[in-house]
Amino acid sequence: MLRKLLTHGRQGTLVTAIGWTLFKKVRPLFRVFLLDHRIIFRVRVGYWPHLGNPRSFYEKVYWLKLHNRDHRIAALEDKLLAREYVSERCPDVRLPRVLFVADSPDSIPFSELRERCVIKSSFGSYARHLVFFDPASSNHEATRDVCRSWLTPRPSVGGTWAYQIVQQSKTRQLFGEELLIDERGRIPRDYKILVFHGEAKYLYVVDKRFCSQPTLTFFDACWNHLGATRVGYELESSIPRPKRFSDMLRIAELLACGFPLVRVDLYEVRGEIYFGEFTFWPSGGLGRFLPPEFDFVLGEELELPCIQGQLRIVTDECRND
């Protein structure tokens, strides 16, 4: 605990960390009318949400996160199972080579790794459950410690049923993927395509992700620059259209068919399209756009499931009604 406090102090986030810790302690007192979720949304996004009648993109994403209990989502949150789904549904998209699969940090075969790679967990977020490994310089024990921290179930501030299912899964694994490098000699641009009801309408491109100033830039499906980004990122004024952009949209729509909203992450490397991951709740429904109005522009594209005009919880049993 002391080490965590010192770390937050050095990072200038001590007050925030203490605030969230106290909030988690008293959170059960705020659960009437989803008040705890409304408080979280207000703090993270900057305005009070209308979860009974969502209007903006992040309000609707948060509603889906709470109520859309389609258990296919929990399965596809497993990154190894998602690879199988992609291979079956869209064989022409490439997948980064898997170098190993391990049940625990102690069984990672470091001695067999001969190239730089990315070590991931089969569950959890891309940003938090990822470590770059270089056999020439990486510390094996330090890498094991990082991976071990992933395996400790932790309640999420905005956690949901699917997060809990994945966290409690007995098949959680670690795996190593080849490190993709593009023609620039860098980690390739990440094309995050937002598919609404089976139609790819918007996307954002993330570049320089692991640099001091990562960029995030929104485009529509015709590659028109929209002048929008997210808080914490720089806006890039000019990004070349991918050579196989139309193929990327087609692949994203094929993979996302049957869901109200899916973000499909793809890469273009030397003329080949690679699959990254699925995201069913972008930013966990807790992001901030710049300009803020863009939140409501995207929100117009997403229709929530309803019966007789009333929003309803979607389960596997009622999907075929």
Residue 186 amino acid letter: R
Q: Indicate whether 14 belongs to any domain.
A: no
The contacts of residue 318 (CB under 8 Å, 6+ apart) are: 312
Token code pair at residue 33 = 């009318």
The contacts of residue 109 (CB under 8 Å, 6+ apart) are: 100, 102
Owning domain of residue 234 = 50-94+187-315+317-321
Over residues 291-318, the pLDDT tens digits come to: 999 999 999 999 997 633 445 555 444 4
Give the residues of the chain that fall short of pLDDT 70.
Answer: 1-33, 124-128, 153-171, 306-321
Residue ending a domain, choose from 145, 179, 213: 179
Q: Indicate whether 32 belongs to any domain.
A: no
CATH number reported for the structural domain that contains residue 257 in this entry: 3.30.470.20
Q: Indicate whether 34 belongs to any domain.
A: no
Q: Indicate whether 227 belongs to any domain.
A: yes
Q: Indicate whether 4 belongs to any domain.
A: no
Task: Assess whether 196 and 222 both reside in one domain.
Answer: yes
Residue 126 amino acid letter: Y
Residue ending a domain, choose from 179, 201, 218: 179
**250: burial class by Cβ within 10 Å (0-12, 13-18, 19+)?**
middle
pLDDT at position 187 is 93
Task: Assess whether 217 and 293 both reside in one domain.
Answer: yes
Q: Please choose, from the candidates 145, 150, 133, the residue with its C-alpha nearest in 3D space to the C-alpha of residue 106.
A: 145
Task: Assess whether 174 and 194 both reside in one domain.
Answer: no
Task: Assess whether 194 and 164 both reside in one domain.
Answer: no
Task: Assess whether 131 and 215 both reside in one domain.
Answer: no
Task: Assess whether 157 and 287 both reside in one domain.
Answer: no
**321: burial class by Cβ within 10 Å (0-12, 13-18, 19+)?**
exposed
How crowded is residue 217: how many other Cβ atoms within 10 Å of its Cβ?
A: 23
248-251-257-260 Cα dihedral, nearest 10 degrees: -20
Task: Assess whether 90 and 103 both reside in one domain.
Answer: no
Structurally, how many domains does the chain consist of? Answer: 2
Token code pair at residue 159 = 């956690």
Residue ending a domain, choose from 114, 148, 179: 179
pTM (2 d.p.): 0.85
pLDDT at position 70 is 85
Q: Indicate whether 83 belongs to any domain.
A: yes
Task: Assess whether 152 and 79 both reside in one domain.
Answer: no
pLDDT at position 163 is 59
Task: Assess whether 275 and 199 both reside in one domain.
Answer: yes
pLDDT at position 318 is 40
Task: Assess whether 150 and 194 both reside in one domain.
Answer: no
How crowded is residue 193: how many other Cβ atoms within 10 Å of its Cβ?
A: 25
Q: Indicate whether 133 belongs to any domain.
A: yes
Alpha carbons 51 and 76: distance in angstroms, whole number: 25
Omega within 30 of 0 (cis) for the link into 260 = no
pLDDT at position 75 is 85
Task: Assess whether 126 and 193 both reside in one domain.
Answer: no
Over residues 189-207, the pLDDT tens digits come to: 999 999 999 999 999 999 9
Task: Assess whether 271 and 161 both reside in one domain.
Answer: no
Token code pair at residue 7 = 């770390």
pLDDT at position 150 is 85
Q: Indicate whether 117 belongs to any domain.
A: yes
